[in-house]
Amino acid sequence: MRRFLGLAVLGVTALLGAGVSAQAPKPAAAAPERIPLTDDVFKTVTLLRGIPVDTFFDAMGMFANAMGNDCTYCHDSKAYFDKTAFALPTPRIQKARQMIVMMNDLNRRYFAGQTRVTCFTCHQGNNAPSSDPDFMVQYGEPTENPNLRDFPTDARQTPDAIFGKYIQALGGAERLAKFTSYTAKGTYAGFDTSFDKVPVELYGRAPGQQTMVVHFSTGVSTRVFDGTSGWMSGPDTPLPLLILTEGNLDRARLEAMAAFPTGLRQAFPQWRGGRTAIDGAEVIVLQGMDAAGQPVAHFYFDEAGLLVRMIRFTRTPVGFVPTQIDYSDYREVQGVKIPFTRKVSQTYMQMTVELTDVQPNAAVDASRFARPAPYTRPRA
């Protein structure tokens, strides 16, 4: 199931009805890139129209997560080998559209249009919602989802104290101030590689630029955040050049900042703290809120003060969808602790990067953080 979710992303290019276009640059500065929307790309989409392509995939992932199944549960099973079959109508696609209409109606009637009811509200990983009581819920061992956006707050967990401990745990502000760039090599394994390990390179520059280059057997994938904009280009993307938007763009910003973390405290204007557990270990969670007071990001710190998980939620028409990044295997490199393993989980894919070599304060050319060229698929 998991492998297929990643393969679905790889093959979506066969469904494209339009590519990426950019406006002509002005003499003073280049005009903003035109962001392709679902209307431009997926000709059979009827309800989730007018949203960026990266947000569309988060919404598709919400369906897969809520149903506890892969894409072919709703789409035609031939799509596993023939990606054009994703456009074929099926009874379950028709039913899903009816459910979206029902969900929107409930939210409009009872929650002032806020997306409080989602697919997961009723399904919770099951093909069909259950209407029968479950004694395990009452009397079984309780389980806690540490990623919930609504959690009991603890006023004692202040962002200044927690980020201060985090900076100290990494090596202290003085050493971190001297850590201004890095290059790294390692391996990448995910749905898009059938979990085989392939070479990966990372490049970073303070205060918040990052590029990852993955060497797939089918071509090179380049993922860039230049400090303001973000892109993905490669055989693993649904467009020759995928432009990151909204929550996905902000997640790229936070990932880049995490490598040079002295600025993370200022990443959001509002914070609140609490406590939860990850895999049975107690952690402190700080929730970052945007200017409107909407909770959009979580940062989890272990007993030693190290960042062990970060989550950025993307707002979609079917609810907030998380991207989770788990950090582990911290090692000291010239006095600064760096996580050598990061695992990224999304509702439609999962991947793990394991570093084998990190070179701090290495010279990194500015071109590493430039907008990548659209990927060109080799001719058969």
Number of other residues whose CB lies within 10 A of the CB of residue 41 = 21
Low-confidence ranges of the chain (pLDDT < 50): 1-5, 7-27
Q: Where are the beta strands (DSSP E) in the chain?
A: 181-190, 198-205, 209-216, 219-225, 230-233, 242-243, 270-278, 281-289, 295-301, 307-316, 319-333, 336-346, 349-360
What would the two tokens of residue 275 be? 């406590």
Q: What residues contact residue 64 under an 8 Å CB cut-off, 6+ apart?
A: 5, 70, 71, 73, 347, 348
Which residue shows structure tokens 């071509």? 219
Q: According to the model, what pLDDT value does residue 16 have?
A: 36
CA distance 246 to 115: 17
State both tokens at 57: 């995939």
Question: Is residue 199 within 8 Å of residue 188, measured between CB atoms?
Answer: yes
Q: What's the confidence (pLDDT) of residue 21?
A: 36
Q: What stretches of 164-228 adopt beta strand conformation (E)? A: 181-190, 198-205, 209-216, 219-225
Q: Are the CB atoms for 347 and 89 separated by under 8 Å?
A: no
pLDDT in tens, 335-347: 999 999 999 999 9
The reported pLDDT for the residue numbered 30 is: 59
Residue-range domains of the chain with CATH: 2-139 (1.10.468), 159-369 (2.50.20.10)
pTM of the model: 0.88
Q: What is the pLDDT of residue 141?
A: 85
Q: Are 130 and 247 within 8 A, CB to CB?
A: no
Question: Could you give the CA distance from residue 53 to residue 38 in angstroms, rounded to a whole number?
Answer: 6
Structure tokens at 2: 């998991």
Give, as one character, the DSSP assignment of residue 159: H
Beta pairing, strands 270-278 & 242-243: unpaired
Per-residue pLDDT tens digits for 188-224: 999 889 999 999 999 999 999 999 999 999 999 999 9
CA distance 347 to 129: 19
